[in-house]
Amino acid sequence: MLQNESVILRGDMIRCALCKDAPCDAACEKLKPSGLLRSVWFDNEQGAALRLSEDNPCRDCDAPCERACVRPGEVPVRRLLGRLYGEVRPMAETPLPQNEDRLKCDLCGIALENPFLLSSSVVASTYDMCARAFEAGWAGACFKTVSSLDIHEASPRFSAVRDSGGGIMGFKNIEQLSDHSVAENMEIFRRLKAKYPSKRILASIMGQNEAEWGTLSRLCEENGADAVELNFSCPNMAEGGLGSDIGQVPELVERFTAAAKRACHIPVLAKLTPNVASMSPAAEAAKRGGADGIAAINTIKSVTTVNLHTFVSAPAVRGHSAVGGYSGNAVKPIALRFIAEMAQNPALAGLHLSAMGGVETWRDALEFILLGGGSIQVTTAVMQYGYRIIEDLKQGLNLYLSEKGFSGVGEAVGLGLDALHATTDALERDTVVFPRFHRESCVGCGRCEIACADGGHQAIRLNEARRPVLDGKRCVGCHLCALVCPQRAITPGRKRVALRSQPSI
């Protein structure tokens, strides 16, 4: 049974470096531990468990994999694989699907092998890169934005906000557009189309005026693109009315979308900026201009990491920095909100939503699908982990769809929309859900008590055995304790319906 959260937490294997040509694989005669560990990392532990043979070869093994590790002894490979055998595999109810038919879907009428595309960025900027991504299993690529501008990038051009394990949680870039000429990019499209006819090429373009939006769309179609994505949203090209400035002005979105539509016959998507309070005005303008779909989100304007000695934020380019675009897993909640906003807007009915912003795992992707995303695009996770993440994206989603009895990914699109409200006013407020403490996994750290005392309602005390005891009269059911518990040993428990007294008139 697929859990709402992983049984094995990423924290259990945080020291795994997710190596290329992993030494643990070379040391093991029976398994390829690196692929299994990667599946655990990317929330596809059930897929990993189902790929294992019946017998656990690790049981009588003295773990040469752990000694061969680039961090010898720091990654509990044997214990993790033992948990896949002992805890995850017995709970799996569905066998691994035999094919990927359930993943087939479409983007504005164009058939996709699966919903996963590279989003427009450095990860899809050359023939070789796209070819390797296609071979790895991506359904297509939205190519790095093509323009006639002369692009000279700054160095360095990225910075990262890290999580407590050292991984990249948020990512800032000050990169602009493709630095190949239009002609060079068109040649790449032709070669990709010839070699990979079943893969999809979305051509991201940025024009400087109506005529150029039209010319670029036409050229992309003539050279093999399956769809055009209009970049109205690059925060690093905002001067002179380009980039995200266009996405903030619905009249320009409508005008330039109409220009692109007039010039080509393939589907046109408008890629919109999250640097607005609501995406609907620009999305509705794109629809008026004839757009077939919306792609969102592009990156969020941001400043990261001010150096405390030089006083310059990152990335520092010869002593100066600039506001740049934020992406990666940290932006997912913001991206989900924009996708849901558009999916719930009746004025946008019928538009394809190509969703992106922080997708790393199949669970991330599924959240976008449940909120209306018809296809999924990815950049930052690929920059961090490589094209290989497609294996767990596809297998995890396929397994979920199979277990839920869906015959295709399209059946899941938008299923989360009815239960999502734009404001909190719509929510029932009379039920209190108390926390349930799982004593077998509690280690007695007292973090729940601290959080409740200083950030809650002073409803938890620790007993002599350092285990939490709840004062039901004080508890308001906020669940801060469950969120801070490092053991995940607190879950929703008993409910109490406390009808509010009627206000006196």
Ligand X SMILES: Cc1cc2nc3c(=O)[nH]c(=O)nc-3n(C[C@H](O)[C@H](O)[C@H](O)COP(=O)(O)O)c2cc1C
Interface contacts to ligand X, rule CB under 6 A: 119-122, 144-145, 171, 173, 175, 177, 204, 231, 234, 271, 298-299, 327-328, 331, 356-359, 378-381
Question: What single DSSP character describes residue 198?
Answer: T
Minimum CB distance to ligand X, residue 161 (Å): 13
Q: With 0-12 CB in 10 A as exposed, 13-18 as middle and 19+ as buried, what is 162?
A: exposed
User: Residue 231 or residue 375: which is nearer to ligand X going by CB?
Assistant: 231
User: Residue 331 or residue 475: which is nearer to ligand X going by CB?
Assistant: 331
Whether omega before 297 lies within 30 degrees of 0, making that bond cis, reads yes
Distance CA 286, CA 334 (A): 21
Task: State the Rg of the chain over Cα.
Answer: 25
Q: How far apart are the first and last CA of the chain?
A: 51
Minimum CB distance to ligand X, residue 452 (Å): 34
User: Residue 215 or residue 329: which is nearer to ligand X going by CB?
Assistant: 329
Minimum CB distance to ligand X, residue 393 (Å): 12
User: Residue 235 or residue 477: which is nearer to ligand X going by CB?
Assistant: 235
The two counts, helices (H) then strands (E), for the chain are 17, 18
3-class secondary structure, 20: coil
User: Which residues, other chains included, contact 346 with Cβ-Cβ below 8 Å and sequence gap of 6+?
Assistant: none
8 A C-beta contact, residue 204 and residue 269: no
Minimum CB distance to ligand X, residue 144 (Å): 5
Minimum CB distance to ligand X, residue 365 (Å): 10
Distance CA 171, CA 302 (A): 10
8 A C-beta contact, residue 56 and residue 30: no
8 A C-beta contact, residue 181 and residue 189: no
Catalytic residue positions, numbered = 234
Minimum CB distance to ligand X, residue 193 (Å): 20
Pure H helices in 52-108: 64-68, 77-83
Distance CA 61, CA 45 (A): 21
Distance CA 286, CA 165 (A): 41
3-class secondary structure, 491: strand
Among 113, 86, 91, 88, which residue's Cα sits nearest to residue 102? 113
Distance CA 298, CA 379 (A): 10
User: Residue 34 or residue 217: which is nearer to ligand X going by CB?
Assistant: 217
User: Residue 250 or residue 315: which is nearer to ligand X going by CB?
Assistant: 315
User: Residue 381 or residue 460: which is nearer to ligand X going by CB?
Assistant: 381
Minimum CB distance to ligand X, residue 314 (Å): 14
8 A C-beta contact, residue 333 and residue 354: no
User: Residue 134 or residue 368: which is nearer to ligand X going by CB?
Assistant: 368
Distance CA 233, CA 247 (A): 6
Q: At what angle do helices 362-370 and 389-404 cross, to 10 degrees?
A: 50
Minimum CB distance to ligand X, residue 203 (Å): 11
